[in-house]
């Protein structure tokens, strides 16, 4: 194969790994310790029990409360749906917000996150037969469909599972974003927050196109570095594992660091391919330390 063709394939591959570049900026970043939140308590809001909290109720709550609620839904409600750990990645994102002091009620981040939590809750209620209420959130029906398919034993492979999970989260995220942008008094997000949001978009894009990305990595790196090919595939699996909070928390912190440096990712990724290839060994070292 000609060198130009190999390099072209490498360019495609690096698009899948862009999310890990911030590790070079903050190699030793570690998750901020958080006090464990009890999944259930006598002081829980009544709407937690019925999975019926409104968007406004969720948005008005603190990130600590939302973290408790997401954990509570999984531990106390989603067992029959075989989904008691399917939203750990959402936990990781909320843990990231807590580590950076982001997401106070009334902010853009709070609104976007509330759209996600509301849709998970209402989707779960529908899947469990507790309610038919969508709350007007289009992510609700997608999460309900996802949860019912998981309950029925579908979506067993990552290629089947990840696109469905990602589309549901994408839809709920866009709803929360729309609410933020159309509600008077909600300030526009900071430039750093906008850049960070673009990294979350890339995360979801990787989930939706996992099979293509993994195939590209496998074909490309087996030709030039078989060991790296195997490591790259494992990295993608780790990065997009929704049953763990660690990748989302660590990835969020790394992306936040890079977003503050005005590195022009998310606009013309092909221009950055040479840089990504040069730092790939260090990137995998960070992954190995934190997987």
Give the predicted TM-score (pTM) of the model.
0.81
Q: CA 214: distance to chain centroid? A: 18
pLDDT tens-digit profile of 88-112? 999 999 999 999 999 999 999 999 9
pLDDT tens-digit profile of 156-197? 999 999 999 999 999 999 999 999 999 999 999 999 999 889
The mean per-residue pLDDT over the stretch 68-95 comes to 98
The predicted structure's pLDDT at residue 205: 84
Lowest mean pLDDT among 20-24, 75-79, 114-118, 168-172: 20-24
Give the list of residues 6+ apart from residue 231 with CB closer than 8 angstroms, or none: 284, 287
Going by pLDDT thresholds of 50, 70 and 90, the confidence category of residue 43 is low
Output b/e per residue, 152-171; b: 16+ Cβ within 10 A: eeebeebeebbbbbbbbbbb
Residue of 15, 12, 9, 11 whose CA lies nearest to 205: 15
The predicted structure's pLDDT at residue 247: 86
Residue carrying structure tokens 């979801």: 204
The mean per-residue pLDDT over the stretch 250-268 comes to 70
Question: Per-residue pLDDT for 1 more than 50?
Answer: no
d(CA 72, CA 23): 32
The predicted structure's pLDDT at residue 271: 45
d(CA 190, CA 196): 10
The predicted structure's pLDDT at residue 57: 96
The predicted structure's pLDDT at residue 26: 42
């Amino acid at each position: 194969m000609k060198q130009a063709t190999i390099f072209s394939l490498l360019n495609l591959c690096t698009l899948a790994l862009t999310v890990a570049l911030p590790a070079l900026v903050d190699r030793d970043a570690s998750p901020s310790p958080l006090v464990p939140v009890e999944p259930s308590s006598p002081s829980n809001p009544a709407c937690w029990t019925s999975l019926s909290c409104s968007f406004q109720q969720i948005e008005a709550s603190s990130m600590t409360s939302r973290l408790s609620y997401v954990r509570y839904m999984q531990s106390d409600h989603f067992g029959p749906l075989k989904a008691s750990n399917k939203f750990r990645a959402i936990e990781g994102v909320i843990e990231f917000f807590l580590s950076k002091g982001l997401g106070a009620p009334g902010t853009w981040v709070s609104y976007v996150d509330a759209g996600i939590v509301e849709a998970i809750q209402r989707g779960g209620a529908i899947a469990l037969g507790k309610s038919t209420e969508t709350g007007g959130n289009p992510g609700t029906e997608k999460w309900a469909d996802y949860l019912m398919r998981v309950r029925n034993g579908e979506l067993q492979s990552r290629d089947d599972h990840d696109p469905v999970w990602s589309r549901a989260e994408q839809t709920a995220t866009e709803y929360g974003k729309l609410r933020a942008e159309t509600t008077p008094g909600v300030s526009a997000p900071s430039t750093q927050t906008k850049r960070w949001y673009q990294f979350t978009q890339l995360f979801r894009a990787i989930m939706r196109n996992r099979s293509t990305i993994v195939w590209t990595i496998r074909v490309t790196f087996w030709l030039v570095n078989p060991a790296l090919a195997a490591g790259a595939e494992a990295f993608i699996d780790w990065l997009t594992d929704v049953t763990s909070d660690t990748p989302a928390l660590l990835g969020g912190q790394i992306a936040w660091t890079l977003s503050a440096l005005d590195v022009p990712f998310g606009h013309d990724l092909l221009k950055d391919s040479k840089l990504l290839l040069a730092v790939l060994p260090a990137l995998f070292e960070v992954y190995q330390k934190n997987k």
